[in-house]
Amino acid sequence: MKAVSERGPDAAAEAATRSRDLYWYGSPRFSGSRARHLAALYAFARIADDAVDETPDAEEALRRLDHLEEELDRAFGGSPSPSFAPLAEAVRAHAIPRKDLAELLAGLRSDARRREISTYKEFLDYCRLAANPAGRMALRIFDAHGPENEALSDRICTGLALVNFWRDVGPDLDRGRIYLPREDRERFGVTEESLRARRPDAPFRALLAFEVGRARALLEEGRPLARHVPFPLAWRVEAFVRGGLGLLRRIEAVGFDVFARRPPIARLWKARVAAAGWVRACLGRAGR
C-alpha cells in the first residue's frame, strides 16, 4: 500500500467512496463544507483501518499507525501535509477533540496485535475506541453533540461494526483474526477447527444468527438519533442504519453462509439506501 503521506489531495474522496463499505454517505460529492469535513474525517478513519487490514505483519501495521499519529500531530499543530490539509480544516472548523482521533488509532493498534476476541465485553471495549469516535465527530460537525445523542450514536457505530465483522468472517480468517467472541463460540459449540475450515454447519449458523440479532438490536436502539439531529445528518443516520439492517437481512437470506456468499455492497445498492434514508428523514420531519 502506498504510504499515506504520499497520497494525493483526492484521498478523502477516494477513501469515502470505496464500494466495500458505507463511507460513501460522507462523500465530498455531496455539497457543502460540512459534507467535505465529514468526508475528511471518514477518510482518515478508512486509511487508518486499511493500515491494519491490508498489512498482515503486525509490526508494519503499527509503524503505519505511528506515521498516521505523526500526521495527526501535524494537522492539529497547524502544519499538515497536503494530503491531510482537509483533516486539519475539519478539526479546526468544528473543534474536533484530538482525543476522538487518538482513540480510533488506539483501538486499531490493539486490533493489529489481536488474533481473537474473547468476550462480548471485549468487543464492546474495542468498538468504543475503533468505531464510536466516528459518530461523535459527525455529531460535532453538525452541531448536534451531547450526552443523549452520543449514546445513540455509539449504538449505531457499534452495531455497524458488528455488521461488518459478521459479513467478513471469511476475509478476517484470511487475515488470521477471529472476531466472533470465544465465549459465544463455546456456547454454541463452534470449534476453532470448524471455523477455520469454513464449515457453515448448524452450530455456526445458530451462532451467527445470535450475533446478527445483537447487531440489529443496536441499530434499532440508535435509530431515534435521526429525530434529534439536523436534516443533513439525519438522512445519513437513516442511510447508515438502513444499510446495516439491509446487510443483516442479506446475511440471513444466504442462510448465514457468509463463507460461500458474502453479501456484496454495490454502489447502486448504496445509492438506493441513501435515497430511502433521505425520504424517511423527510417524512420524519413532516410528521412532527
pLDDT in tens, 62-113: 999 999 999 999 999 999 999 899 999 999 999 999 999 999 999 999 988 8
User: Using CA atoms, how far apart are residues 244 and 227, in angstroms rounded to an integer?
Assistant: 18
46 or 228, which is more confident: 228
Query: What's the whole-model pTM score?
Result: 0.88
| Cell numbers that stand for 226 in this block | 435521526
Specify the range with the lowest mean pLDDT, choosing from 41-55, 75-89, 133-147. Answer: 41-55
Residue 41 contacts residue 90 (beta carbons within 8 Å) = yes
| Cell numbers that stand for 149 in this block | 445523542
Q: 227: which DSSP letter? A: G
Residue 188 contacts residue 279 (beta carbons within 8 Å) = no
Q: 142: which DSSP letter? A: T
Domain residue extents for the chain: 10-113, 115-288
3-state secondary structure of 116: strand
Look at residue 170 in the predicted model and tell me its pLDDT. Answer: 95
Residue 162 contacts residue 215 (beta carbons within 8 Å) = yes
pLDDT (mean) for 52-59: 85
Exposed/middle/buried for 26, CB within 10 Å: 0-12, 13-18, 19+?
A: buried
In 3D space, the residue among 100, 95, 225, 96 whose CA is nearest the CA of residue 160 turns out to be 225
Residue 24 contacts residue 270 (beta carbons within 8 Å) = yes
pLDDT (mean) for 151-169: 96
- The correct CATH number of 115-288 out of 3.30.479.20, 1.10.600.10, 2.60.15.10, 3.40.50.620 is 1.10.600.10
Share the mean pLDDT of the chain: 87
Residue 39 contacts residue 284 (beta carbons within 8 Å) = no
In 3D space, the residue among 183, 122, 127 whose CA is nearest the CA of residue 156 turns out to be 127
In 3D space, the residue among 38, 240, 216 whose CA is nearest the CA of residue 153 turns out to be 240
Residue 75 contacts residue 88 (beta carbons within 8 Å) = yes
Residue 15 contacts residue 23 (beta carbons within 8 Å) = yes
> What angle do helix axes 132-141 and 147-167 make, rounded to 10 degrees?
130
Residue 134 contacts residue 156 (beta carbons within 8 Å) = no
